[in-house]
A and B are shown apart, each in its own frame.
Chain A
């Protein structure tokens, strides 16, 4: 850890420590929400930033996490830790399974099929009325953490903050582990990764698993302080928000993901009242960032590739060079390089 990082963390910790004594419920709600965004962004960071897999299914897992935790709590009134574990595990399993997609396809195809999964999940949330109460939204009753009932934002705040800190610590640990190196090796080139003995298919699945587990945990955290969830808020819009956090924050960087989560979480919350205005500002911020700071606020300078560059050029006799038949051509990107 760099020294400046340690100072920043200490400062952040101090602010978070004294905040509940100064701030009102609404501010604490925002902070709780930002913590959830941080966990979500870190999860997307693992699959997108570290492993380079363009997955747009994150919010679907977030939704599964929310409903898992909410349903279990409403039915059995379990301890918050059990709910967290249940959501994390459920989503981890789903994520591992969805990782199969990443073995079959890549880039834009992966993006669109995971996107399709996200839309399908939102449809399930909206239409499985006997379980999720459909478009009326689902009420979440307060969650217990041992004897402590978390009915308000202030009561849930310490729990949310501590959990987020643990997730952050785990993320840093993960990225320094052997597995973290494998993630990055797969991002740079899966063929080269395979050549040095990395089980690429397994690593991709594990990356999906971790990413989904993070989203599930974020969902469970959300249920600790929120009392209501509507499927409308689990759609593509939310997915884009998290994607923006990771990309504008600086793709491939933990600091970037956190910064992005805080900044864009705040922007989206503050401009919530002014919908049309929010959209214009939001869009302009995105376009301008991409125009002038494509590496993001705190990017580590390694651009995420859609990996088309690793495709071989047409092999004669294999793919007819006819209109529309060339899927990926090696030389295409070098024009920009």
Chain B
């Protein structure tokens, strides 16, 4: 491999990595916001994303709806699923004194239900993809090939992140979410309605998952097992420090870029392993993640 090859691979790997990384980052944000406010590592994250993809698929291909309607229905549909799950199941687990372990298992239950339900519809029998609303013509950036679709994916994802940033920093509900994430009890004492915040956070996670599903669906083939992608979101969240939203973004891009570089330089076979090695290494060297702040002293 000559130097010019390496330079080319680097450019291609980093740019493609930024595109797929932006999706991982969005999913990681969903994981982190839920984790911060409800203490639940949401193991149904991948399936929530998957359901978003299938709602869009159903609207476009079966119901023949226009694209704008598909987008609206997908966003609201997924947010409704997560909202209902939180309201009906998790609130009940919390009120019957369930610990985070129990809530985690409830999310695993949700994952199974969603996957089974999608299989039941028969839509998932063959891998499918959405027709792309944006041209997939090639754009050259430096020496790397991207498509217009890639640029839109990246652009929308970054815009979403910017909107989330504004929400978390300048709106009441966003500040309430952060307050609950820092100290739920203190937040409650100053008048934050914990139940409402938890519901809002889950709805938000659903919304963000739906956005990422809509973005990436025209680019990949979807099956009911696509939920595996959440593993990468978790990897991103952990690499960045699981309680840090900026960390999730950094982690998402890092995982995306690592994945693409490993695929280009090592072998496509090793792609699957890369995120896990990243998790293990980061956790061993810096257990709190890259942006996880200092480790806290524990006391009895």
Using a CB–CB cutoff of 8 Å, the interface residues on chain A facing chain B are: 54, 101, 104-105, 108-109, 111-113, 116-117, 119-120, 123, 127, 189, 191-192, 195, 240, 243-244, 247-248, 251, 275-287, 289-292, 294, 303-306, 308, 310-315, 318-329, 331-337
Question: Do residues B238 and A323 form an inter-chain contact, with CB atoms below 8 A?
Answer: no
A residues near B113, Cβ cutoff 8 Å: 279-280, 283-284, 287
**Count the A-B residue pairs with Cβ separation under 8 angstroms: how many?**
220
Chain A, residue nearest B240 (CB): A324
17 contacts between A and B (CB under 8 A): A108-B41, A112-B234, A113-B283, A191-B300, A287-B110, A290-B106, A311-B296, A311-B298, A312-B297, A315-B296, A323-B169, A323-B181, A324-B181, A324-B241, A324-B245, A324-B246, A327-B288
Report the minimal beta-carbon distance from B270 to chain A, rounded to whole angstroms. 9
- Chain B 95-130, CB-CB to A under 8 Å as 1, else 0, gives 011111111011011111111110110000000000
Name the residue of chain A whose CB is nearest to the CB of B284.
Answer: A104
Cα–Cα, bound, A194→B103 (Å): 30
A279 touches B115 (CB 8 A): yes
Q: Say yes or no: B109 contacts A335, CB within 8 Å.
A: no
In the complex, are the beta carbons of B99 and A306 less than 8 A apart?
yes
Report the Cα distance A48→B101, complex, angstroms. Answer: 11
| Chain A residues whose CB sits within 8 angstroms of the CB of B35 once the complex forms | 108
Taking CB atoms, residues of chain B closer than 8 Å to A304 are: 99, 101
Please tell me if the beta carbons of A112 and B238 are within 8 angstroms of each other in the complex. yes
> How far is it, in angstroms, between the C-alpha of A112 and the C-alpha of B168 when the chains are bound?
27
**Contacting pair A113 B280 (CB below 8 A):** yes
Interface residues of B (CB under 8 A from A): 32, 35-36, 39, 41, 89, 92-94, 96-103, 105-106, 108-117, 119-120, 168-169, 178, 181-186, 188, 194, 231, 234-235, 238, 241-247, 269, 272-273, 275-277, 279-280, 283-284, 287-288, 291-300
Q: Do the beta carbons of B98 and A290 come within 8 Å of each other?
A: yes
Given contacts A294-B97, A304-B99, A311-B296, contact A323 B178 (CB under 8 A): yes
Contacting pair A320 B293 (CB below 8 A) = yes
Decide if B183 touches A324 in the complex (CB within 8 Å). no
Contact B103 A306 (CB under 8 A): no
Given contacts A279-B112, A306-B99, A324-B291, contact A247 B39 (CB under 8 A): no
A54-B101, A306-B101, A319-B293 known; A280 and B112 CB under 8 Å? yes
CB pair B283 A283 closer than 8 Å: no
* Contacting pair A335 B188 (CB below 8 A): yes
Residue among A117, A292, A324 having the largest count of chain B Cβ atoms under 10 Å: A324
Interface majority SS (helix, strand, loop, mixed), chain B: helix
Chain B residue with minimal CB distance to A313? Answer: B183
How many Å from the CB of A134 to the closest CB on chain B?
Answer: 11
Chain B residues, Cβ within 8 Å of A303: 97, 99
Given A113-B279, A244-B105, A324-B241, does the pair A276, B292 have CB atoms closer than 8 Å? no
Instruction: State the Cβ distance, A123 to closest chain B Cβ, in Å.
Output: 5
Shortest distance from the beta carbon of B260 to any chain A beta carbon, whole Å? 18
B108–A240 CB distance below 8 A: yes
User: Counting chain A CB atoms within 10 Å of each CB, which of B99, B110, B111, B168 scores highest?
Assistant: B99
Give A290 to B93 CA distance when docked, in angstroms: 6
Q: Which residues of chain A are within 8 angstroms of B293 by Cβ–Cβ distance?
A: 319-320, 322, 324-327
Contacts of A336 in B (CB 8 A): 94, 97-99
Q: How far is the CA of A207 from the CA of B175 in the complex (A)?
A: 42
- The answer to whether B269 and A127 touch across the interface, beta carbons within 8 angstroms, is yes
A332 touches B89 (CB 8 A): no
Residues of B within 8 A of A283 (CB): 108-116
Verify A294–B98 contact, CB threshold 8 A: yes
**Chain B residues within 8 Å of A247, by CB:** 101-102, 105
CA distance A240 to B241 in the complex (A): 24
Closest B residue to A124 using CB positions: B273
Residues B279 and A116 in contact, CB atoms below 8 Å apart: yes
Q: Given contacts A248-B105, A282-B112, A290-B105, could you give 18 more A-B pairs where the C-beta distance is less than 8 Å? A: A54-B101, A105-B283, A113-B283, A120-B273, A189-B300, A191-B299, A244-B105, A247-B101, A291-B89, A291-B92, A291-B93, A306-B100, A310-B299, A318-B296, A324-B32, A327-B296, A331-B186, A335-B194
